[in-house]
Chain A
Amino acid sequence: MTDLLLTGLLILIKLGMVLAVLLTMAAYLVLAERKILARMQRRYGPNRVGFGGMMQPLADLIKLLTKEDFLPAQADKWLFLLAPGLAAVTALLAFAVVPFGPPLELFGRQIPMVVCDLNVGILYFFGLSSLAVYGVALGGWASGSKYSLLGALRAMGQMLSYELAMGLSIIPVILMARSFSLTEIVEAQASLPFALTNPLAFGIFFIAALAESKRTPFDLPEAENELVAGFHTEYSGMRFGLFFVGEYINMVVLGAIVTSLFLGGWHGPLLPPIVWFFGKVLAVAFTFIWIRGTMPRLRYDQLMAFGWKALVPLALVNLLATGGILLWLGGAS
């Protein structure tokens, strides 16, 4: 009984810690993105609130919270109110299966450094990432505005173009690790990260992850130039903030997933595992920002063509090749 209680308590503590770290990271990622983008364009970026702009996320939060929560007359009320939550919650939930360190030995108990080590962690992540599109699609549809609707349509089309390639690019990883659990996949990369043993899968997954995060080369659903703000055109105040923060949480989560699947998770020499893990996540996030600072937005049909004509066949070939090699290696031993 006490054992069960203790386990529950530990899970709660981990949940709280993960939530706090994730939200803070997302908030400061916004600041980091603004600053890095600014430096790439030879500007300073936000540097007024606090030392070097360090309090900017707080100021933004206060501003968003105190703004009017506007409901358009044509909107479908409940869906409109619900959609931003869906977008943020699915992003938050996806982090549950990400292991951020090796199991910890505390008071004679094994504490796994993951909120919940599902044995089908990857499927769970996939399910949630598909659900996240509903937040965008429903929000866009429920706004009752043509720009939002177009943004929502694009989000759906975008999901169709990248998701298959994303799934196919992970299968080689599962084959190599012989497990669906993210913890075991990380363990399987103790010597060499999969990004080195299977760079093609890494590349495909990275591009798909970029599309999933709806960021610059693939930010079609919110293309400012033609759609005002796409699916969240009609949103204001903290509901817009939820979409916004959801996007950045998603960035952290995708960074964590990329890290776990391909970059060897917490494995690394010298430094403590947690530092390696967060370092890698931040490196992936920086790459996302760097790509945003560099690439123009693709056109709608270009993404479709790229997804279906380049990524999916490549992923299939890669899957076959990996399977063949594994079979051959297994047969040889």
Chain B
Amino acid sequence: MNLWRNIKGTFQPFWVTLRYLFKRPVTISYPEQKRTPPPRYRARMILTRDPEGEERCVACHLCSAACPVDCISMQAAERENGRRHAAWFRINFARCIYCGLCAEACPTLAIQMSPEYELSNRDPLKLVWEKEDLLVDHGGKDPDYNFYHHSGIGVVAPRGGNDDELPPVNIKTNLP
């Protein structure tokens, strides 16, 4: 019957709320209790190094192009041996929305999201992080990847010296 259902539907919820009154809250009281975010959590970015301890970033600007809020800026530079790097590299964490598009765009796996989320600050200028603050001395999520061993002609190894590279073909032998 409809009336009976209505009456029941009015009074049953009271029992639910009363029961919940005596249950333990699920809140995590933040500054005292901290939860460990999962390893793939998207918080602030790091700039990783390749297995040889060199900076992975080749200053290709792909991350800053992918960034929807334009908070990455850098200056490209090149070393004697032809290895590219960023002269300076700056992320404005006051603007970053932690979408992870930069990490997805990066061809060298240099820029990666890390689970470190405690960034809040009273001074927005302190949220502008330079390359020195961002650089870490490990390889992040894929420590064995070395971009220059797959690409970049003759920069870290002689031609044909990389893992999955064939030695250069002597074109003269192909002549008819």
Contacts and interface: CB of A to CB of B under 8 A. Distances in A.
Q: How many B residues touch the partner, as a band?
A: 10 to 19
A40 B21 contact: yes
B29 A36 contact: no
Given A42-B25, A42-B26, A43-B25, A295 B20 contact: no
Contacts of B23: 42
A290 B20 contact: no
B14 A44 contact: no
Nearest to B29: A44
Nearest to B22: A39
B158 interface: no
B166 interface: no
Interface string A273-315: 0000000000000000011011100000000000000000000
A74 interface: no
B18 A290 contact: yes
B27 A43 contact: yes
A39 B27 CA distance: 10
Contact of A294 (B14, B25, B26): B14
Contact of B17 (A40, A44, A47): A40
Contact of A36 (B10, B16, B21, B27): B21
B13 interface: yes
A44 B13 contact: no
B13 A294 contact: yes
A41 B16 CA distance: 10
Nearest to A217: B10
Given A294-B13, A294-B14, A295-B13, A44 B21 contact: no
A311 to B, nearest CB: 15
Interface in A44-65: 44, 47
Nearest to A296: B13
A251 to B, nearest CB: 18
Contacts of B26: 42-43
A123 interface: no
A38 interface: yes
20 contacts: A36-B21, A38-B25, A39-B20, A39-B21, A39-B22, A40-B20, A42-B24, A42-B25, A42-B27, A43-B25, A43-B27, A44-B25, A44-B27, A47-B29, A290-B14, A290-B18, A291-B14, A294-B14, A294-B16, A294-B17
Q: Which 5 A-B pairs rank lowest in CB-CB distance, beginning with the nearest?
A: A294-B17, A40-B17, A294-B13, A293-B17, A42-B25
Interface of B: 10, 13-14, 16-18, 20-27, 29
Given A44-B29, A291-B14, 14 more contacts: A36-B21, A39-B20, A39-B25, A40-B17, A41-B20, A42-B20, A43-B25, A44-B25, A290-B18, A293-B17, A294-B16, A294-B17, A295-B10, A295-B13
